[in-house]
Each structure stands twice: as structure tokens, then as C-alpha cells.
Amino acid sequence: MAIRLHQKKALVAEVNEVAKKAHSAVAAEYIGLTAGQLDDLRAKAREGDIYLHVVKNTLAKRAVEGTEFECLSPSLVGPIMLGFSLEDPGSVARVIKDFAKTHPKLVVKTVAVGGTAYGPADLDRLASLPTREEALAMLMGTMKAPIGNFVRLLNEPTAKFVRTLSAVGESKQAA
């Protein structure tokens, strides 16, 4: 069933608003997937705070105009599903990659981050990016390491003195 002009305009506006807030995007071809499989993919996307939508190519090209995902336009050919990551840049890639492992008919066409389009081979690199919590944990570990080393350095002379006294005391008891 064809959608009317006002529905098309609303869809373009919705996708454009999401694209303005998104951190990364993935365009994938979904030929051969059943409706049930697409529903499973959408459910996984909702869990990961990912916007996933099947959009006609002309509408998708209009929707990404004026956003950093305008670089996707040349790859919007054929039946395409757009996925936008709203929380962390790697979430959409992780969901698509995991789903594509069990459903090989989902084929990634383009990955876009920061206004640059990458090929499907770069999906793994995007999926391996740490989540926000993981990145903060790595940052805190990096910030904490020098302080911990400094404290151990300051504590070492005292600890060495105590170990020496203990060894002297043990040697006197043994004699």
C-alpha cells in the first residue's frame, strides 16, 4: 500500500531528527529476511536504544540531507534498512553484526561515522568500540594507575624496613 505525501514528509522529518542526534549509522540490505526475522532484529534494536527503519531510497536520501550521514546517499540503492546508534557509536554495529551471524541474508552496505562513509569491512571495527561505561572504566584505570604507583613507591621504604626487622627477629629466634 502506497503512503501519502504527508506520511512521507513525516517519515523524512522523523528520520532526519534521529540522524541529527545519532552517533553512527549502518545501511544494510535485508532481501530474503522474513517478517518474523525483521521483528526479532527490531526487538534487539529497541533493547540497544537503536533506531532501525526500512525506508525507501529517495526518502532516505532526503532524510539524511543536511546531516553528517549525507555520505550514505550513494549507497542507498535497493531495499535498504537504516540503523542509527543513539547512545554509543558501536551499538548499532554490534546489533547488526550479531544478527548477521545467524542471518546471512542481512548484508551490510555502508557504515557511517563522523560524516565519513566506510565499507562493510569496517563494521567489525565499529562494533569493537567500547561502550560509554567501558570507556569511562578504561579512563579511570588510566588515571588511577600513576597515583597507585606513587603510593606504592612512598610505602616501599617503610615496608622494606619492616621486612628487614622481621627477618632479623626470625634469625635471632632461630639461633
Q: 26 pLDDT exceeds 90? A: yes
Task: Answer yes or no: are the C-beta atoms of 18 and 69 closer than 8 Å.
Answer: no
* Cell numbers found for residue 89: 557509536
Strands across the sheet containing 116-118: 50-54, 80-85, 24-29, 107-113, 116-118
How does pLDDT run across 33-42, given as a tens digit for each residue?
889 999 999 9
| Alpha-carbon span 24 to 93, nearest angstrom | 9
Q: 1 pLDDT exceeds 60? A: no
Mean pLDDT within 52-60? 88
Residue 151 binned pLDDT confidence (cut-offs 50, 70, 90): confident
Q: 95 pLDDT exceeds 80? A: yes
Q: 150 pLDDT exceeds 80? A: yes
Can you give the pTM of this predicted structure?
A: 0.74
Q: 68 pLDDT exceeds 70? A: yes
